[in-house]
Chain A
Amino acid sequence: MNPTVIAGLSATILLLPILGSALCGFLGVPLGRRFVNWVGTVSIGLAFAAVLVLLALLLHAPQGHQSSTVVLWNWLSLGAGSNLGVSVNVTVDALSVWMLLVITGVGFLIHVYSVGYMEHDPGVARFFSYMNFFIFAMALLVLAANMVILIIGWAGVALASYLLIGFWHDRRSAAVAARKAMITQVIGDVALVLAAFLIFVNLGTAPYCPPGAHCPAAAGGAQHLHTLNLPQIFAHASSLGPNSPTLTIICILIAIGAFAKSAQFPLHTWLPDAMEGPTPVSALIHAATMVTAGVYLIARFHPLFDLAPVAAGMVASVGMGTSIMAGFIALSQTDIKRVIAYSTMSQIGLMIFAVGIGAYAAGLYHLMIHAFFKALLFLAAGNVIHTMHDEQDIRQMGGLQARMRITAWSFLVGSLALGGFLFGGMFSKEDLLGFGTVNGPAAPALYIVGVAVNVLTGLYAFRLYGVTFTGEPRSDLARHAHEARRVMLIPVVILAALAAVAGWVLQWPVTIAGFRPAFVDAFLNPVFHTAVSGPIAHEPGAGLAGIGFVIGTGLSVIGIAVALRIWVRRDLDAPAWFRGPILGWLPRLSFHKLYIDELYDALLVRPGYALARVLRRTVEPEVMDGWVRGVTGVATDFSAGIRSVQTGLIRDYASIMVFFAVAFTVALIIAAGLVH
């Protein structure tokens, strides 16, 4: 691939959204809504076109040349001749293009949708400015080939998320949710920065022999790397040896960063609250792209995780644990967006599990399919919320199927894809679960948890569908609901088509009659099978994969069927079983989100307040103010002493000046030894 073309296209993908953001932000208010709508969407559309060109180039690149790292410019150059410094370089390979396809493709559809969703909002210029900025930051994050640049993108998406969650900042709950998200993100940021420090110290500065250079075996001959460029770091990762404690710590720190971004336990509590933002934001940032950045991060750092099986096992366990926890909580939530948010958390848990066991391609496959159907679910939910005048409680809905036919059918497609039957999820989810049968810690323990999650997924997906769209309307708003505008329907329908078709076309988890499309593996696996990567997940055999697929899909179908009987046909009163005193705690636990927010409040927030009170009452007035007052007291006394010199009379000032000038001259004469 021609480096100049790659650099130009990458720069285009980065510049278009930031340009759109600047235009919307600075000129949006004076130039009005039409300008903002066009600029905000066209910039992302053009970026998507550039990504498609990159994809075409990548598919036509010869074998072994499918990864290209180009330097856009040298940002910080510390000392000529040394490697020390930061360069803005981008990696274009299957992984980054795969992510860019999701970011700009799904992002473009959501931008188009936002034109309709935000049509009555006065802050539309600000909205599109933030959204375009998010696309820029996310593209920077996935393109970055330098850890510094990656962290800039990483923090940029957190900033965009903060701004967009708090978009309606006059709502107190939105402001609080934005702050909560930001604080949680910063915990992850700090972990990632610490990981960067450790990498710089342990990998970046290790003796390194650049290719083609003559390096004697003695340590003096090797050069020091002094860099955070990812390719060099990966090339050097094996020098620490397998199971190195340092590498494990680095990987755990990176994983903490990924957990904060991807809302994994124990840093997950911000994601449900983040639903305070406008629904397109939830679809773009908190379902399709930003929250999957953690999956991307671990996949990008796969050469390190391959060599640190302990950290990778922890990642897989946390992912699966979060998945079942979120699925359990999603069962009893009543806010339409929160249910989808918990399902997002659960699905991302599965992806994190996949990258934790080394099934990177499967995890990323599910990432894309999930982006399709989850954006679809959010946008369809957005249509519902829009027509319900911002009512989000599903107990107020019901019977919407007759009133919003296209939205309801799209939602049904999304629910089937989520539940894992017929559409999207049946392929990608079962593909990644199949790897769980032979990989991961204590295989197939996590696989068994995974198929249990399938039941929960089917249950909550169709509970949501049934309660919202079937039955009788339970409020006046629901009775007067109507279908959304065309600009809001078209993206939903396109996403529904993608969610329905993509799995059939891209990759099957099982081989049927010797036939199995596996385009995803073919496209992505070269990234993960390189000279620098370690061992990755074993393919389950065709038979095992088939058995796993049947079990997984069967459990999904059971979950869906039970949910349909409870909430659609209403001939099975399963919730009644949990109303008694023996099992009554289960729904309560689910409804109160396992009391994790309360636990954090008791463990962190309250002791923090108590400590702050103690500091304010005793330490601040006595200690801090004490020494501040002492310093000012000394200065005041001193200046009071010398103030008498300032008489204001010019002649006095002149006298002092003359005295010292003459004294200096005389002293000079004497010191020069001229007076004998």
Chain B
Amino acid sequence: MNGLLMALLILVAVSALGVVFAPQTIYSALSLVVTVGLLAVIFLVLNAQFLFAVQLIVYAGAVMVLFVFIIALLDPASEERARLTDPRLVLGVLAIAGICAAVFIAARNGVTYDTSCTHQAVSCMHGYRVGSGGGAADPYHTFGFPAAQVNAAGNVQTVANQLFHTYVLPFEITSLLLLVAAIGAVYLTRRTSTATGRGGAARPARPAPDDLPRESAEAPRETGERPLVTGGR
């Protein structure tokens, strides 16, 4: 089981790199499909059967289809590869290194959050206790699989029990959130008459200030009007 998990983790890391570095948008999307699919499998291995299903249905099923659909609709051009001297690339690589190193060091030292740890002791800082992990004695080679609990109730039932009892209010609020998102999406993408330009989102390209010549050049593409400021430079 550990070997399987290890392999999955390595594959996830590789496919994630593919998302970021693929030159074509569609390749990025396909890499992301692979990534979320692999993560779903990892969830299954980690005994989260419910999330496995949700991850597949929502991400691989809905979100990624939406992405691919938008890519097909907008047909974005491929962009040039970032130069190696781009300070953002350097910063990003440093961020990868920093975050990974931080997680590695923290995990090696068994940093856990401990609410009782509020006093200023040597091994105690801002609520983080260093040294004694809360789980297994050797976190690098063992893993907790509460087989008895899984067999007794089944993971989906346990999650559902929590979701519909303890966390029923947040669960209901997520439905509200989705409703708002759906209304927002409809509002943003609706087709309005550009001649009258009613409503905030339906306003045609604003008259460009003088220092934005590229906007004023492109504005007539949709509105069919001459931009108010055409330059004069």
Contact = CB atoms under 8 A, between A and B. Distances in A.
Q: Do chains A and B touch in the complex (CB under 8 A)?
A: yes
Interface of A: 651, 655, 658-659, 662-663, 665-666, 668-669, 671-675
B102 A651 contact: no
Contacts of A663: 98
A46 to B, nearest CB: 55
Interface string B141-168: 0000000000000000000000000000
A210 to B, nearest CB: 48
Interface string B75-111: 0000000000001100110110011011001100101
Nearest to A656: B91
Given A651-B88, A658-B95, A674-B109, A669 B102 contact: yes
Contacts of B125: 668, 671-672
Contact count band on B: 10 to 19
Contacts of B111: 672, 674
Nearest to A669: B102
Contact of B98 (A655, A666, A675): A666
Contacts of A668: 102, 125
Given A668-B102, A669-B102, A674-B105, 9 more contacts: A658-B95, A662-B99, A666-B101, A668-B125, A669-B101, A672-B111, A674-B109, A674-B111, A674-B130
Given A672-B128, A672-B130, A659 B102 contact: no
Contacts of B88: 651, 655
Nearest to B98: A662
B94 A662 contact: yes
Q: Would you call the interface of chain A mostly helix, strand, loop, or mixed?
A: helix
Q: Would you call the interface of chain B mostly helix, strand, loop, or mixed?
A: helix
B102 A658 contact: no
A539 B99 CA distance: 99
Contacts of B101: 666, 669
Given A662-B98, A674-B130, A669 B91 contact: no
A675 to B, nearest CB: 6
Contact of A669 (B87, B95, B106, B122): B106
B31 to A, nearest CB: 21
Contacts of B87: 655
Contacts of A662: 94-95, 98-99
A665 B126 CA distance: 13
Interface string B119-135: 00010010010100000
Nearest to A649: B88
A669 B97 CA distance: 14
The 4 A-B residue pairs with the shortest CB-CB distance, nearest first, are: A662-B98, A662-B95, A665-B102, A674-B109
Contacts of A655: 87-88, 91
Contact of A658 (B92, B106, B122): B92
Contacts of A669: 101-102, 105-106
Given A655-B88, A662-B98, A662-B99, A675 B105 contact: yes
Contacts of B109: 674
A658 B91 contact: yes
Nearest to A652: B88
Nearest to A654: B88
Contacts of A666: 98, 101-102
Contacts of A651: 88
B51 to A, nearest CB: 27
